[in-house]
Amino acid sequence: MQLSSDIRSLSITNLEKILLRENFEKYRATQIFDWLTKENIHSFEQMKNLPKELIHFLNSRFKINNVVIQLIKKSRDGTVKFLLSLPDNNVIEAVLIPTEKRITACVSSQVGCSLDCDFCATSKIKRMRNLDFYEIFDQLMILNFESLKLFGRPISNIVFMGMGEPLLNYKNVLKSIEMICSKKGIGISKKKITVSTSGMSKIIKILADKNVKFNLAVSLHSAIEKTRNEIMPFSKDFPLSDLVDSLNYWYQKTKSKITIEYLVWEAINDNISHVNSLVNFCKRVPSKVNLIEFNDIGNLKFKSAKNRWIQKYIEILELNKISVTVRRSRGEDINAACGQLANKL
């Protein structure tokens, strides 16, 4: 085993085997993992209940590669953005969004992004790699600590809506959720977690089969295939018919309604044809709609639709008994709003 191996990449069972082989007590593995998950530990020397011999052994075989805050930026609306440095010097962003009733943590799952959505700044950053589960866990523990410090309250909600496509790193995302929801993490309910995807149909079905308990959101933005393919080119490999099928499978397995995330742009989807197509899509899938304010990323192709079209969407959706809300932009002045995360500080 190389010195560079992060100890958190081991399961507790594997660590127990290694310790027993080196003549250390089995229970020491539990002590080590308690330190790694409950405390802000950066070295084995900080694990006060371990004997010196064990600390020496751990230092000879493992590292603790922590995620570290590089920069914090605060918005005038209270939103706080974090530039986080990874052990390999790659950087990601995460955001705390406070309201009167909740503190939402928006976290990243990839360095850069695998997709090519024209309206998203993150898609302009080449995907360097997936985040390991313990790097995602570190993000959340850092944000929870900062939430307590800044707002006097812990994180109440988590959204996987930061950098990257979570479902293209779903194994690490699932493992990080298990850790963060455990008593050794924050202990947050999985019902308070939303994983957002741009529509990875096959993986949606895989997650449904795993009977996951978190919420699913889908970035749709158009229920007309041609338009969706133009603004989200990757979607040519993920037809809307397949997406509908996978979302119905998700609901069948989990009984959890899907949130449809939808941006409305001038001269792109601000017309009755698009409104009616969204209504028809929602009638085929147990869902609710979240209309999102568009945040400028410097692409002149995309401009927020006039407010009358937002109201028209709301009116027609409600007329068809489809639940709809409008998500107001937060943190736009510090490039922390939806679609703006691109390590731009």
Which residues are known catalytic residues?
93, 338
Q: Which helix (H) or strand (E) holds 195?
A: strand 193-197
Q: Which helix (H) or strand (E) holds 177?
A: helix 170-181
DSSP assignment of 245-287: HHHHHHHHHH--PEEEEEE-BTTTT-SHHHHHHHHHHHHHS-E
**Three-state secondary structure readout of 29-89:** HHHHHHHHHHCCCCCHHHCCCCCHHHHHHHHHHCECCCCEEEEEEECCCCCEEEEEECCCC
**Helices (runs of H) and strands (runs of E) counted in the chain:** 10, 12
Separation in Å, CA 198 to CA 18, 24, 313: 41, 47, 21
297 phi-psi bin (left φ>0, alpha ψ -120 to 50, beta other): alpha
DSSP assignment of 280-326: HHHHHS-EEEEEE-----S-TT--BPPHHHHHHHHHHHHHTT--EEE
